[in-house]
Chain A
Amino acid sequence: MRHDIIMPALGMAQDTGTLLAWHKSEGEAVTQGETLFEVETDKTTMEVEAPASGFLVGISASDGDEVPVGQVIAIISDSADTPVKEPDAGSGPVKAEPASESLPTGKAVIMPVLGMSQDSGVLVGWNKEPGDAVKQDDILFEVETDKSVVEVPAGLDGYLAARLAAAGDDVPTGETIAIISETKVADPVDRAYSQSPATTANPEEPPAEEPPAEHAATSVDKSTAPKKPEAGKRLAPASGGKVLASPKLKRLAHQAGFDLALLAATGHPQPFHARDFEALKNANETAHKRSGTASTSEAVTRLSARVSPVELDAFLSWAADNIEAASAASVIAAFAGASLGDHSTVRIDRRGVSETYAAHTQLSKTVAAEGEPDVIVHDLRGTLISSAELPPDSAPVISIVSSGNELILTLTSFDSLLAGKDAAVVLDNFAGRIADPLRHLF
């Protein structure tokens, strides 16, 4: 049985310990409980006992050395034969990376344990270049752990012979991240931690698992995380200043396609509640009528969309066979009406014929009606016209033209009727239904 003798973590926030003196020498027999060495840390000195009986071999730190916590500094072995080749037992360099032949010889610098319950540290950056001479107190690198960044000194004099981790690498504590050699090496190593063969070379370390607390937090987040909002459910932003209204009225207004700002403009007392819905409806309808006589010089929104006609054609022929009184005009009217909001009135102009429908989400209930339209659709499919941008009218105008293998949908509207994001939502809704009519049914 082989027992590693490590520099113990003694204090609460300690990264290194100073080896004051060995009480045993290389190859000497030791008994469990005997004092092996004395260590000083946080102004405390402590005797460290042998964890097992055997022979002390492979001593890699000398009296006075400051050694990172967790570093193996000797081994208790069943025999006095040293398991590690040591060119210079006195100053104690070891081959830091026995698994990798290309690494220079020197003392290993490990990712230290800095926090109370820390498994790894993120290397923030190196303060020395490969090959640089380093002094014991020189800051060698910075490491981030437990939300604090700590500067770590080299701990010994020498040359930075290898850097085995790069800035940003998350390295388990105790892993070797650099080698400091006694003499300058010709071609120092410089690589990222993930390239290091040593990351898989230590079977005793448990796989780099996150602490359970972090798993727990993730799991709880998952169960309570809100679902991604569906695009259609977003509330239309109120145009103009801030309107005080209850969440319930805002939802009802959104569902009906009403603008709360139009109610605010009438001077209706705020905050608005569900009971103000009728007033909201009136304010919106009045505004629509008024805009019918609006001057043509006012601002106009123009938007267009391209969709494939394939699904629409199939759906129209299915609807003609399966839904009573359904026609291409009534289906498109239903789509346009639903894109605008519930209970909209839609005028369809097709081949010189003008029909008005009371749109309903159920296709069979979209029937001919009287009244001012909330939206006007020019269905120019099947004509030779391949591009259209009709002038705005007393209601927003949407034209549909065939162009090559696509349908082009163009919306024009006075800004006072429908503008900006709201217009985009309406056209997007409509285009979505044309592209995938089944979406309308569900």
Chain B
Amino acid sequence: MSNSKRKLSADEAMRMFRQMVRIRTFENNANQLYLSAKMPGLTHMYSGEEAVAVGICEALLPTDKITSTHRGHGHCVAKGADFKAMFCELLGKEEGYCRGKGGSMHIADQSNGNLGANAIVGGSMGIATGAALTSKLKKTGDVAVCFFGDGATAQGLMYEVMNMAALWNLPVIYACENNGYSEYTKTEEIAAGSITARAEAFGIESYQVDGQDVIAVNELSQKLVDRARKGEGPFFLELMTYRYHGHHVGDINREYYRAKDEEADWKENRDPIIRMRAWLVENGYATEEALDELHKEVTEDAENAVEYALNAPYPDVSEVDMHVYTDVKHVLA
């Protein structure tokens, strides 16, 4: 665990820890909902990558924008979303963030600057860059962060928008969550050369950082976000991380591409929550008891939200042809 050059306040440190625990707890509940056949469809777990979303989002203001991915619950929680509305969305309920119309892969939380998760790998790179263009033209000072995985570095769109972001000095940070696997294939088998070198080719300042060290991620993010606000962007981050689950919840039989020993090593020795917990106690930010209490609170919060969402109503069928256009209430009427 890196020691911050700047002394973190107790509030900041505890908030980061809580947000990581919230993400892990959310995902555990989402997984249970899938396994017990209570959740329609399937979902992609963010467990293991918590330090990336939290380290970055804790450096952002609510007005800053993010775009997210199919593995997006972590970004959504980290950007300030509420459990109840998230679980409702996962279950297709009316009170979900998108009135049940988006589901797990499309949660958008505009009030916190989350422009939405995207189920097309690399599909949101233009959107994040466009949000940065708005910031520049309107001089809002907002920074846009584009979350994507190592798999998305194989999409051509990334190179097109990085080129324009660099040409126009846009306040955008490309955050590549390198979890080592592009769906069911090792990243080294799909990505030639270095990931950061891709951005460097456009003259974009690039960094590789330990994505399991929330303090390291946060410290770097704080610096880059401040500089992007001043017009020194864009930036590129490669965050070395790991997903504990398969590509999606149904990806169980995965030894053909990933060894169990490797999974165990990351879970036992590099877990971002375990590491920060130890660091908090060691540096006197919290006692073990206080952290247990925090865990319990979050767990109860999540269980209540799940219970609430399970009992919440589905949208009325009349909603099916609403929200196709902004100016037509029912497009099929």
- B314 near A212 with CB under 8 A, answer yes
- A6 near B35 with CB under 8 A, answer yes
B149 shortest CB reach to chain A, Å: 23
- A117 near B41 with CB under 8 A, answer yes
Give the contacts of A121-165 with B (CB-CB under 8 A).
Answer: none
What are the residues of chain A within 8 A of B28 when measuring CB–CB? Answer: 51
Contact of B317 among A9, A42, A219 (CB under 8 A): A219
What are the residues of chain B within 8 A of A218 when measuring CB–CB? Answer: 317
What are the residues of chain B within 8 A of A223 when measuring CB–CB? Answer: 332-333
A181 to B321, CA, bound (A): 51
Interface string of B217-259 (1 = CB under 8 A from A): 0000000000000000000000000000000001011000000
What are the residues of chain B within 8 A of A206 when measuring CB–CB? Answer: 310-311
- B35 near A9 with CB under 8 A, answer yes
What are the residues of chain B within 8 A of A4 when measuring CB–CB? Answer: 36
**B315 proximal to A (CB < 8 A):** yes
- A216 near B303 with CB under 8 A, answer no
What are the residues of chain A within 8 A of B314 when measuring CB–CB? Answer: 209, 212, 215
Interface of chain A: mostly helix, strand, loop or mixed: loop
Contact of B100 among A8, A51, A70, A212 (CB under 8 A): A212
What are the residues of chain B within 8 A of A174 when measuring CB–CB? Answer: 37
Interface size class of A (residues with CB under 8 A): 20 to 34
- B37 near A113 with CB under 8 A, answer yes
A359 shortest CB reach to chain B, Å: 43
B213 shortest CB reach to chain A, Å: 21
A1 shortest CB reach to chain B, Å: 7
**A220 proximal to B (CB < 8 A):** yes
B307: nearest chain-A partner, CB-CB: A204
Interface string of A251-271 (1 = CB under 8 A from B): 000000000000000000000
- B317 near A173 with CB under 8 A, answer no
- A211 near B40 with CB under 8 A, answer yes
**A12 proximal to B (CB < 8 A):** yes
Contact of B37 among A51, A70, A212 (CB under 8 A): A70
A220 shortest CB reach to chain B, Å: 7
What are the residues of chain A within 8 A of B310 when measuring CB–CB? Answer: 204, 206
Q: Decide yes or no: A6 and B332 within 8 Å by CB, A219-B317, A219-B318 being known contacts.
A: no
Interface string of A61-83 (1 = CB under 8 A from B): 00000000110000000000000
- A173 near B250 with CB under 8 A, answer no
A42: nearest chain-B partner, CB-CB: B253
Q: Decide yes or no: A46 and B37 within 8 Å by CB, A212-B92, A216-B320 being known contacts.
A: no
Q: Decide yes or no: A216 and B253 within 8 Å by CB, A1-B303, A211-B40 being known contacts.
A: no
What are the residues of chain A within 8 A of B32 when measuring CB–CB? Answer: 51
B320 shortest CB reach to chain A, Å: 4
A11 to B28, CA, bound (A): 18
B299: nearest chain-A partner, CB-CB: A52
B66 shortest CB reach to chain A, Å: 29
A239 to B210, CA, bound (A): 86
A173: nearest chain-B partner, CB-CB: B37
A223 to B318, CA, bound (A): 11
- A8 near B317 with CB under 8 A, answer no
B144 shortest CB reach to chain A, Å: 33
What are the residues of chain B within 8 A of A11 when measuring CB–CB? Answer: 250, 252
Q: Decide yes or no: A212 and B332 within 8 Å by CB, A12-B250, A42-B253, A117-B41 being known contacts.
A: no
Select the residue from B315, B317, B320, B332 with max chain A CB neighbours within 10 A. B317
A94 to B182, CA, bound (A): 45
Interface string of B34-66 (1 = CB under 8 A from A): 111100110000000000000000000000000
**A243 proximal to B (CB < 8 A):** no
B195 shortest CB reach to chain A, Å: 31
**A85 proximal to B (CB < 8 A):** no
- B318 near A44 with CB under 8 A, answer no
Interface string of A179-214 (1 = CB under 8 A from B): 000000000000000000000000010100101100
What are the residues of chain B within 8 A of A173 when measuring CB–CB? Answer: 37
A4: nearest chain-B partner, CB-CB: B36
B3 shortest CB reach to chain A, Å: 28
**A439 proximal to B (CB < 8 A):** no
- A44 near B252 with CB under 8 A, answer yes
What are the residues of chain B within 8 A of A12 when measuring CB–CB? Answer: 250
What are the residues of chain A within 8 A of B320 when measuring CB–CB? Answer: 215-216, 219-220
What are the residues of chain A within 8 A of B321 when measuring CB–CB? Answer: 220
**A10 proximal to B (CB < 8 A):** yes
Contact of B315 among A9, A212, A220 (CB under 8 A): A212
What are the residues of chain B within 8 A of A227 when measuring CB–CB? Answer: none
B92 shortest CB reach to chain A, Å: 6
**A234 proximal to B (CB < 8 A):** no
**A43 proximal to B (CB < 8 A):** yes
B40: nearest chain-A partner, CB-CB: A117
Select the residue from B36, B303, B320 with max chain A CB neighbours within 10 A. B36
A46 to B303, CA, bound (A): 25
Give the contacts of B312-333 with A (CB-CB under 8 A).
Answer: 314-315, 317-318, 320-321, 332-333
A357 shortest CB reach to chain B, Å: 48
A72: nearest chain-B partner, CB-CB: B36
What are the residues of chain A within 8 A of B250 when measuring CB–CB? Answer: 10-12
- B36 near A70 with CB under 8 A, answer yes
A45 shortest CB reach to chain B, Å: 8
A203 shortest CB reach to chain B, Å: 10
Select the residue from B100, B303, B314, B333 with max chain A CB neighbours within 10 A. B314
A212-B315, A220-B332 provided; 10 other pairs, C-beta below 8 A?
A10-B252, A11-B250, A42-B253, A44-B253, A46-B253, A69-B37, A70-B37, A204-B310, A212-B100, A215-B320
- Interface positions of A (Cβ within 8 A of B): 1, 4, 6, 8-12, 41-44, 46, 51-52, 69-70, 113, 117, 173-174, 204, 206, 209, 211-212, 215-216, 218-220, 223
Closest A-B pairs by Cβ, 3 of them? A44-B253, A215-B317, A8-B35
- Interface positions of B (Cβ within 8 A of A): 28, 32, 34-37, 40-41, 92, 100, 250, 252-253, 299, 303, 310-311, 314-315, 317-318, 320-321, 332-333
The contact sample of 25 A-B pairs, CB cut-off 8 A, is A1-B303, A6-B36, A9-B34, A10-B35, A10-B252, A11-B252, A12-B250, A41-B252, A43-B253, A46-B253, A51-B28, A52-B299, A70-B36, A70-B37, A173-B37, A212-B92, A212-B314, A212-B315, A215-B314, A215-B317, A216-B320, A219-B317, A219-B320, A223-B332, A223-B333
